[in-house]
């Protein structure tokens, strides 16, 4: 499925508390310092329009949330959502999540990692660009606290099965734990925009959750 044009972010909106360029931040620093308080940290890779981040940060005020999005205009769009809801526990980083996992997140530092509908990179020669690759899975295992969760959902069955097999071969995580689909109670009652589009087109969503330790 392609992507629809993105609405413009209101230029009057102050994004300074909710948007950061990864390149403006030191390569090594205490990421929790960006929130002004330590709290269990959850990270989303590839936030798109930011529906998950805005809903999850509202529902879990005792956790801190980072969204990392490589496409700057989407990162700003998602940050605008957080700014409008005056979020104090979530912010968007514009940058490459794979690089930032390598540089920033220490071992045993993340309560959860969320990856929803990552780009499938259909062509065989492009598959090495997939986010769910061996190096990243080692970073997932390293950075999750004991009991921490990896959430992975996609609409691409081949990507789902390949990733589950790769996880089984590469890292020691308990799962896949099954995740049930819940009926949407309103028009935005979906984990992400891609989940909304997939389910509204009556196509299947493949969901898995893993637990560290
Ligand atoms: C298919 S979209 C899904 C967006 C959102 N998760 C959803 O379900 O609606 C995948 C997103 O991942 C982002 N992305 C791809 N590679 C990335 C990377 N290495 N780091 C951060 N974001 C990435 C893309 O720019 C895109 O916005």
Average pLDDT over residues 188-192: 96
Tokens read off for 201:
């087109």
Please tell me the least confidently modeled range out of 22-36, 52-66, 169-183.
Answer: 22-36
94 pLDDT above the threshold of 70: yes
Query: So what's the pLDDT on residue 2?
Result: 64
Q: How far is 156 from 154, CA to CA, in rounded Å?
A: 5
What average pLDDT does the chain have?
95
112 pLDDT above the threshold of 90: yes
Q: Does residue 164 contact residue 208 with C-beta atoms inside 8 Å?
A: yes
**Ligand 1 atom nearest 120 alpha carbon:** 1
Average pLDDT over residues 34-41: 94
Ligand 1 centre from 35 Cα, in Å? Answer: 23
50 pLDDT above the threshold of 70: yes
Q: Does residue 110 contact residue 43 with C-beta atoms inside 8 Å?
A: yes
**Ligand 1 atom nearest 96 alpha carbon:** 20
Residue 24 buriedness (CB in 10 A; 0-12 / 13-18 / 19+): exposed
Query: So what's the pLDDT on residue 1?
Result: 58
Q: How far is 77 from 113, CA to CA, in rounded Å?
A: 21
Q: Does residue 58 contact residue 85 with C-beta atoms inside 8 Å?
A: yes
Average pLDDT over residues 63-91: 97
Reported confidence tier of residue 125, pLDDT bands at 50, 70, 90: confident
First vs last Cα of the chain: how many Å apart?
36
Q: Does residue 79 contact residue 13 with C-beta atoms inside 8 Å?
A: no
Q: Greater confidence, 4 or 57?
A: 57
Pocket of ligand 1 (CB under 6 A): 45-48, 68-71, 74, 96-98, 116-119, 131, 192-194
Place of tokens 């789902």: 160
Place of tokens 């996992």: 101
Query: So what's the pLDDT on residue 74?
Result: 97
């Amino acid at each position: 499925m392609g992507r629809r044009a993105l609405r413009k972010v209101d230029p009057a909106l102050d994004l300074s508390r909710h948007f950061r360029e990864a390149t403006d931040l030191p390569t090594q620093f205490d990421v929790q310092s960006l929130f002004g308080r330590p709290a269990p940290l959850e990270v989303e890779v590839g936030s798109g329009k930011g529906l998950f981040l805005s809903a999850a940060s509202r529902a879990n005020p005792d956790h801190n949330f980072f969204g990392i999005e490589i496409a700057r205009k989407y990162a700003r769009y998602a940050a605008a959502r957080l700014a409008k809801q005056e979020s104090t526990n979530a912010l968007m980083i514009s940058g490459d999540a794979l690089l930032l996992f390598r540089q920033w997140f220490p071992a045993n530092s993340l309560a959860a990692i969320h990856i929803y509908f990552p780009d499938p990179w259909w062509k065989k020669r492009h598959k090495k660009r997939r986010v769910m690759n061996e190096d990243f899975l080692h970073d997932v295992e390293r950075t999750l606290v004991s009991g921490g969760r990896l959430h992975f959902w996609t609409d691409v069955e081949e990507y789902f099965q390949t990733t589950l097999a790769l996880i089984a071969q590469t890292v020691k995580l308990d799962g896949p734990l099954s995740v049930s689909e819940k009926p949407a109670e309103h028009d935005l009652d979906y984990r992400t925009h891609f989940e909304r589009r997939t389910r509204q087109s009556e196509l299947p969503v493949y969901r898995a959750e893993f637990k560290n330790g």
